[in-house]
Structure 1
Amino acid sequence: MRTVLRSLAELSMTAGLVLAMFVGYLSWGTGEYTHRQQGDLHSELERRWNATQTRKLAASGPRRGREAAVPVAEAGQAYALIRVPKFGSSYRYAVVEGVGTADLRKGPGHYPGTAGPGQVGNMAIAGHRTTYGGPFERNGELARGDEILIDTAATTFVYRVTHRIVVRPGRTDVTAPVPGKPGRRPKKAMLTLTTCHPKFSAAYRLVVFAELAGRRARTAAA
């Protein structure tokens, strides 16, 4: 009996160690991958934005300095920048185009076909909550009135949180042009952030809704 108990205790300790190592990989290992990818994406955005500004400076006439309504990016490429002042000045994630597995490992992903920054409609973005850097880990802290900033080449779009809900994964209507009302024509610019809920589970989705409150010229610091 002692031998059996000793063996069970050793097995439990081994299993606990393996589990701890696995959790460590999920939090650190995947996060390190995303950190490297984000560095590349930020550099990609800067190159594209600098090229856009150079083209504008070379242009002439009344349209000089005007920005295209929607950023252009292929699947997996950097699309825009998301910042949340409530989470501190270091919170800056490059958003990629696409929400596939490979896309979301790089950072938050823009749902293809949804509105672009500042556009009338619903700009929807998905992101991991715990693994791969957990860009949306603190989304449960967002409350009415909190700002979410979306940066493009020349403009910062300011959205303010209106509310948040928890839904089943099948509730894809939250990313509709009018969230929760598929088929209805939108009349305002909205932003929706989706992530898993609760942490370390995909049983539900935490959804944060926001509306466009203003826009301003993007500064170099952004």
Structure 2
Amino acid sequence: MTIPAIGVRGLRVVAYVGTADDGPGTVIQNRGVAASPRGPRGGVGPGDVGNFIITGHRTSHGRPLGRATELVNGDHILITAGGTVYDYVVNRTMTISFRKSAELAQQNAAVPGRPGVTPTRAMITISTCATPEDHAAGNFWHDELGNPEHRINKIGTLVATHPL
């Protein structure tokens, strides 16, 4: 994964069966790479119709998504897989709480933010912690895996593909 606007270049994204920020995904992220949950409760692969979810650490383990919150609408996220480059463009930000199951469902939905809606296009969710924001607000809650209460998600839509 490459995100020119925030200096991410060639970040490895490891696919696994699961949901965003579960135990197996956290183990992957703790290696300093990004994790991409797939399957019935996770997301889809690059270029597929639905929600291609990528999670990564912002404040620890090499901070691969340390600047993810700086992404703004119009910034490009480039995914290289199988000899193809998938070009997604950020079009919104969604913040969710780990303590609210309805908000977790929004993050993991096939159409980000709209559980139960059938997707018609390829989308991407880049998800990382809101630890600095939570701590600044006096919120030091975290789950058993160390995830803070809030996640910041940058949502984008696939706009182009081209051969590598």
Question: TM-score normalised to the size of structure 2?
Answer: 0.77
Matches within 5 A, 1:150-189: 150-169=79-98, 170=100, 171-173=103-105, 174-189=107-122
| 153-162 or 105-114, larger mean C-alpha shift | 105-114
Larger radius of gyration: 1
d(CA) in 1 for partners of 2:30 and 2:152? Answer: 18
Identity %: 32
The AA in structure 2 aligned to 1:153 is G
Deviation at 1:165, TM superposition (A): 2.3
Deviation at 1:130, TM superposition (A): 0.8
Deviation string, structure 1 residues 157-178 (Cα, Å, up to 9, x no partner): 0000001122212422212101
d(CA) in 1 for partners of 2:151 and 2:55? Answer: 10
CA contact (8 A) 1:97 1:103 kept: no
The AA in structure 2 aligned to 1:141 is E
CA contact (8 A) 1:157 1:212 kept: yes
Match of 1:112 among 26, 35, 38: 38
Q: Which SS does the other structure have where 1:86 is aligned?
A: helix
Question: TM-score normalised to the size of structure 1?
Answer: 0.58
CA contact (8 A) 2:51 2:123 kept: yes
Match of 2:52 among 111, 117, 123: 123
Deviation at 1:198, TM superposition (A): 3.1
d(CA) in 2 for partners of 1:172 and 1:87? Answer: 26
Deviation string, structure 1 residues 24-65 (Cα, Å, up to 9, x no partner): xxxxxxxxxxxxxxxxxxxxxxxxxxxxxxxxxxxxxxxxxx
Deviation at 1:91, TM superposition (A): 2.2
Structure number with greater CO (CA < 8 Å, separation at least 6) is 2
Name 1:103's counterpart in structure 2. 28
Number of corresponding residues: 136
Deviation at 1:211, TM superposition (A): 0.3
The AA in structure 1 aligned to 2:45 is G
Structure 2: gaps of 5 or more residues? 141-147
Deviation string, structure 1 residues 163-205 (Cα, Å, up to 9, x no partner): 1122212422212101122221101100001111033761211
Structure 1: gaps of 5 or more residues? 1-81
Higher normalized strand content (fraction of residues)? 2
